[in-house]
Each structure stands twice: as structure tokens, then as C-alpha cells.
Structure 1
Amino acid sequence: MKLSVLFCWLAVFSCAEKPALNADKKNWKKTAAEKLNWMTLEDAAAGLKKEKRPVLIDLYTNWCGWCKVMDKKTYHNKDVTAYVQEKFYPVKFDAEGRKSITWYGRTFNFNARNKTHDFAIYLTNGNLSYPTTVIIPVDGEPQAIPGYLAPNEFELIAKYFGEGKYGKVPFDEYQKSFKSQW
């Protein structure tokens, strides 16, 4: 009796559709980071030679839980994605990556003693935190904004830099007159 019940259950489950497994695998496995067209630093540097606009760097680590939340909730947001693609050169940078990189003629390497890439230390002025959104304004120094940013928090900062207000309007003043649209 038990055996026939077991076979009935097996028959039912083996005939049932498996929509999650049969779904379009490209969409099923897509992460938020794939929705935003991330560039390499080399591509961003080449882009700057053609068109001047700020570079936005998502500084992350593979073990960082809040980095994954920001990928999923902020960088997955259609307003964030559209605005970043239009106004910035977006770069995703692993703060613990081992590949040497060159930025404006200066070479940065993985720092084995700190277990962190020297470029991450440079971008954050040594104040490492993950995730960190770093914006390098046109002809400016890196501006690091540590911590998770929800889309509405991200909007304020992205538009401050994307509209070219950085260096011209004090942030406090901009923030007071800012009207969120996302």
C-alpha cells in the first residue's frame, strides 16, 4: 500500500510543469548588475577622451551582503539604470580583485598585506566600507559615499553629480531644493 502511494506521488510530481526551471534561463539567471551596462576602468578612461562625464564606481566585495542588496534593489531600478547609463561611465570594481590597473597614468595593484586593492584604498582615501559608491567628477577627485543607498537616496547623489552641480552648488543647498522623481 505504501509503495503504491509513493508511486502515485512520484507520477504526479514528475508530470507537473516546472515553470521556474523551464523559464527563460537568460532572464532567470540575470542579476541586477547585468541590467546596467557596467564598463571596465579602461573603457571608462577611453570614453572620457571622447565625452567628458563623471565616472560612477560601485566598489564591492564578493562577501558583502549589502553590496548584493544594492545590486538587486538600487541597480535593478529602471530609473537608476536609465539615469546612470545616460550621465555616467558606470564601473563595477571588486575591492579585493587581484588584477593590476592603471588610472590616469598611475598603476594600482592588489595589496596582499591589507587584502585590498590599492585602487579601492585610493578611491576611499583609506576609509574602506562596502558597498561604497564612488563618483569621480570630470577633472575632479574621487568622492566616496559609503554604505547601501536605496534608489531615492541614490537619486539625490547621482543627480547632484550628473547635473554638474558638484563644485558649483554646496550639497546642503542642493539637497534643500531637490525634488525626488523616482
Structure 2
Amino acid sequence: MRKIYITLMLVVGFSAVGIAQEINWLTLEEAVKLQKKNPKKIMMDMYTNWCGPCKMLDKNTFQNKDVADYVNKYFYAVKFNAEGNDVVNFNGKTYTNPNYNPAKANNRNSGHELARYFSVRSYPTIIYLAEDGSLLAPVIGYQTPQQLELYLKLFKNNDHAAFKTQQDFQAYAQAFKPEFKN
């Protein structure tokens, strides 16, 4: 009886606090396959195992309920270790990490060919891809839920298409009113 009571208290406690929402992470190949049936943009988190800001992004931003709900509804989310050893087929080409060293799996390692294809040089970098798989933009660095919200809504609504200059984006960002909670 005591175990049931403790379990019940834990469930009630977690419900009251709110359990972190999960993003439905996919591989890039899964996301591209889903795009063919139901077109959506792709948000790809390029991270490394040793990257502190990447871990903060996972903990503080990607587990935010508003972020997770929005991403799950409007994007295919891909999590990709930019120094990992995965074999990825994308746009008719196979990408690997030929210089990967398993002994350095949790330290700085060789950059993956897919990361180089997208010109990723720092972590985290969030890559946004259009419904046809073309690159929309990379967004470099840690983002709070409200900072990420700006980019999610910018690309989801295709507002980026109207920008002709960096000043256009700056005006958009200054006028943007975030709605996501911390």
C-alpha cells in the first residue's frame, strides 16, 4: 500500500509541475520520406556530444512545452550529431564521417560530411530546410524558447521570403512579439 501511495504522489507531483514535452526527433532520411507524403519544413539540430550550449538547448529549449508542441505540429525535427559516425543518404548522396575516431566519441572528433555540406562550423547550429529539402538558413548558437520561436514562426509562415536585406530581418525581429513561455 505504501508503494502505491508513493507512486501516486510522484505522478500527482509530476502532473502539477508539468513534465517536459518531448520533440518527436527523426533521422534526416525519415524526415525527407515524410515530406513526400505530408510536406513540412525540417528543423535539424546539429550538435556534438561535448558541446555545453547544445546540452542547454536540449534541457532549456527543446523540452519547453510551447517549443515542443510547435515543432511537432509544424516541422519535422531532426537531431544530428555533427561529429558522429552515422551514414546518411540525402539528396542522392551518401554522407559519412571517414575520420571518425570512436575513442573520441564524447570529445572533439572529426566533423561529419553532412555538417560540412551545410557549412556547419560551430555548435549548436539549427538548420532549416524547405519542404523540397533545400537549405533555408542555418541559425548558430544557443537559443532560448522565445529566441527560437522567432525563427520557427519566421520559416513556418514563409516570412523570410520577403527579406531583401539584413535590415528587413532586423526590423522583423524587433517587431516580433514572442508568445512562448519559459
TM-score over 0.5 for the pair: yes
1:45 to 27, 32, 44: 32
Letter in 2 for 1:37: N
* Distance change in 2, residues 1:52/1:173 (3 Å): farther
How many equivalent residue pairs?
A: 155
The aligned amino acid for 1:35 is E
Secondary structure at 2:177 match in 1: coil
1:90 aligns with 2:77: yes
Counterparts of 1:128-143 in structure 2 under 5 Å? 128-139=121-132, 140-143=134-137
Aligned to 2:138: 144
Select 1:105's aligned residue among 92, 97, 100: 92
Pick the aligned partner of 1:157 from 135, 143, 151.
151
Q: Which residue number corresponds to residue 121 of structure 1?
A: 116
Q: Which amino acid aligns with 2:78?
A: V
CA shift in 2, pair 1:173/1:148, >3 Å: same
Q: Structure 1: where are the runs of 5+ without partners? A: 1-18
What are the ranges of 5 or more consecutive residues in structure 2 without an aligned counterpart?
A: 1-5, 101-108
For the aligned residues, what is the CA RMSD? 2.4
Letter in 2 for 1:67: C
Report percent identity of matched pairs.
37
Deviation of 1:172 after TM superposition, in Å, equals 3.0
- Once the two structures are TM-superposed, the CA of residue 142 in structure 1 deviates from its matched residue by 4.7
1:80 to 52, 62, 67: 67
Render the CA deviation track for 1:37-89: whole Å, top value 9, x for unaligned.
Answer: 10111110111101221100011111111111110000011110011011110
In structure 2, what is the Cα distance between the partners aligned to 1:133 and 1:57? 5
Cα displacement string for residues 80-115 of structure 1 (whole angstroms, at most 9, x for unaligned residues): 001101111000000111121111111111041871
TM-score, length basis structure 1: 0.76
Aligned pair 1:181/2:175, yes or no?
A: no
SS at match of 1:129: coil
CA contact (8 A) 2:42 2:129 kept: yes
SS in 2 for 1:44: helix
Cα drift, residue 156 of structure 1: 0.6
